[in-house]
Structure 1
Amino acid sequence: MKKKKWMIGISAVLCGFLIIDVAASFYFYDLAIKRGPKDFLQGNEDLEVSAETLGEFLEGDWISWMREQPFESLEMTSFDGLKLKGYYLPAKEPTNKTVIFAHGYLGNAFDMGLFSEYYYENLGYNVFTPDLRGHGQSEGDYYGFGWHDRQDLTDWMNILIEKNGPDTEIVMHGLSMGAATVLMASGEKLPNNVKAIIADSPYTSVYDLFAYQLKRMFHLPDKPVLPTTSFVTKLKADYSLTEASALNQVKQAEVPILYISGESDTFVPTEMTNELYENTKSTSEIATYPGANHGESFVLYREDYLQTITTFIEKYM
């Protein structure tokens, strides 16, 4: 009798833990992956940047520049039936060179104007910047963190190649989640038109990113919550946190990749960028910037940043 009561007690405790784990997993899915406002990021010390950077992000000349440009709206249907929006700006003078941007988490196509102005005004490129699924004017009730977006980017490339001709040359430039997106795309069979990739502040995988943030923001270990959250994500968004891996993809990459990271990045640590760089199959380079937090290398080291990406691109375009 005592043994039976003991077994019932253990079973009840295990069931309790299982219920808590499942509930926590659905909570974290809604918190980070389900489309919608993300108040938990407000006041996050890891996202604090210098006054100079904040001023550039919120009031930089690039904002008015973007608003003045005659972007053409493009639309496509994704492999899973979503209507996605993108915005195309042909160069002032005809060219076969095009940059495709990928923005960060909770951002939109407009945000990449920070870089678009340089590519357009100084390099003379055509510019294409899409709203990634779940962002901006694109459909989607979840954030793909780059995994499904990698296929969307490939589809956008094919549209642009058809639009501009078979001699089109493409560079992909991504920031944060967008950086992981272009790296996840790098492991796919890309059109030969893709000549170079620039990844600014990327993460190795969605699981690694969440594990890092779970510990840093909530002081919790990754297990058992993240494996269950990964299962929930697979059910609701058709991808798992582990399969969404930029690290696995760059091990198959054929296109040259330039990695960029701020050495004081506490949101997506530079260690992840170094790991990606060390495991990249294709030709790769890395540039890191002292004192720069997440995504602010461009502002704090503008001249060096632009010279670095230009020198890299010109090797392959």
Structure 2
Amino acid sequence: MKKRIIIIFSVLFVCLLIGLGYGVHYLFDFAVVSGEKEFIKQENTVKLEQKWKFSDNHLEKIKIKSNDDLSLSARLISQEKQSKKVAIVAHGYMSEGYAMPDYANMFYEMGYDVLVPDNRGHGESEGKYVGFGWQDRMDYQQWIEKMIQLNGEDIDIVLFGVSMGASTVMMTSGETLPHQVKAIIADCGYTSVADELSYQLNDMFNLPSFPLIPLTSLYTKVLVGYSFYEASTVEQLKKNKLPLLLIHGDQDDFVPTEFVYTLRDATKGSKQVEIFKGANHATSFKTDSKRYKKLVKSFLSDYLN
């Protein structure tokens, strides 16, 4: 009898390990491996082409090499007369710079040269895995230096991002940045990769975060080089002293609206929170573009010439 119980428990334990292994591998492929995702809506290519018309004759492609030897690509839209104001615009999860014409145009109309990178593993940039802003923060330091090289030492830079891009620029804010970086604008960013994936695991699959998130985090650390827990926007903001504008929709069902208040409380610089009523995830601009543009312009007028 005792031997039979041991065999049963051994079989159950092996089945549990196999199940967890499958779950970890599935979640890793689902979230971290770069590629098309069924739950991400792709924008109409024709509409995007039309929205980029403002950049005709002013757009060029530039590239850098990341610290881990990936070729990273970006779109640079320059004013007819080179500007001393530069906006670096970061896109969202499994998107690309090409999907950001509304924001690029907003800054261009305000007189900025605009750099729109493709994050590693997205668009025309190399990479097999999603950095979720954590690995990308080092790339954005290089993009900042690239713009200083191109436009000169006497420039002002604003970092702007939406969704994963918002967390990318906030994570970048915790690093040592040159004095040319004056302000940050983050639209619907998450508090940490662990928090966001835990939320999605529950929302999409009705599963608790433990043990899949810790195990997948460990798997990601071994395979990609970072864990979900170290990839914390909150911890990076605790080192940030730059002014921060936080934007979020009150109907966001992808990155919970309450995240914005945790981010607000974490940053050490001056801060401003703006909630767009009726806006879902990354739709604040579409919900009220007039207010959005006015808000961004007003915020930056206090920190950039």
Equivalent position of 1:37 in the other structure: 36
Q: Is 2:118 the counterpart of 1:131? A: yes
Equivalent position of 2:12 in the other structure: 13
In structure 1, how many angstroms separate the alpha carbons of the residues matched to 2:299 and 2:117? 23
Provide the secondary structure at the position in 1 that maps to 2:135: helix
Question: How many residues get paired?
Answer: 304
Q: Is 2:302 the counterpart of 1:315? A: yes
In structure 2, how many angstroms separate the alpha carbons of the residues matched to 1:69 and 1:144? 32
Provide the secondary structure at the position in 1 that maps to 2:144: helix
Residues 147-172 of structure 1, C-alpha deviations (whole Å, 9 max, x = no match): 10010000111111111111121001
In structure 1, how many angstroms separate the alpha carbons of the residues matched to 2:273 and 2:303? 16
In structure 1, how many angstroms separate the alpha carbons of the residues matched to 2:49 and 2:297? 21
Following superposition, the deviation at residue 60 of structure 1 comes to 6.9
Q: Is 2:105 the counterpart of 1:106? A: no
Q: Is 2:80 the counterpart of 1:92? A: yes
Equivalent position of 1:78 in the other structure: 66
Following superposition, the deviation at residue 59 of structure 1 comes to 3.3
Q: Is 2:181 the counterpart of 1:194? A: yes
Provide the secondary structure at the position in 2 that maps to 1:106: coil
Matches for 1:99-248 after TM superposition, within 5 Å:
99-121=87-109, 123-248=110-235
Normalising by structure 1, report the TM-score. Answer: 0.91
Following superposition, the deviation at residue 240 of structure 1 comes to 0.8
Following superposition, the deviation at residue 215 of structure 1 comes to 0.6
In structure 1, how many angstroms separate the alpha carbons of the residues matched to 2:92 and 2:46? 15
Gap regions ≥5 residues in structure 2: none
Equivalent position of 1:50 in the other structure: none
Matches for 1:56-71 after TM superposition, within 5 Å:
59=47, 63-65=51-53, 68-71=56-59
Following superposition, the deviation at residue 11 of structure 1 comes to 3.3
In structure 2, how many angstroms separate the alpha carbons of the residues matched to 1:68 and 1:178? 25
The correspondence for 2:272, drawn from 285, 298, 305, is 285
Q: Which has the higher helix share?
A: 1
Following superposition, the deviation at residue 4 of structure 1 comes to 4.6
Query: CA contact under 8 A between 2:167 and 2:191: conserved in structure 1?
Result: yes
In structure 1, how many angstroms separate the alpha carbons of the residues matched to 2:111 and 2:144? 19
Q: Percent identity?
A: 39
Provide the secondary structure at the position in 2 that maps to 1:38: coil
Following superposition, the deviation at residue 92 of structure 1 comes to 2.5
Following superposition, the deviation at residue 61 of structure 1 comes to 8.6
Residues 9-56 of structure 1, C-alpha deviations (whole Å, 9 max, x = no match): 3333223212211211111111121111212446xxxx9xxxxxx89x
| AA aligned opposite 1:198 | I
In structure 1, how many angstroms separate the alpha carbons of the residues matched to 2:237 and 2:185? 12
Residues 198-251 of structure 1, C-alpha deviations (whole Å, 9 max, x = no match): 000101111111111111111111111111111111122111111111111111
Query: CA contact under 8 A between 1:66 and 1:110: conserved in structure 2?
Result: no
With a CA cutoff of 8 Å and minimum separation of 6, indicate the structure with the bigger relative contact order. 1
- How much is the aligned-residue C-alpha RMSD, in angstroms? 1.9
| AA aligned opposite 2:283 | E
Provide the secondary structure at the position in 1 that maps to 2:230: coil
Following superposition, the deviation at residue 58 of structure 1 comes to 7.1
Query: CA contact under 8 A between 1:62 and 1:117: conserved in structure 2?
Result: no
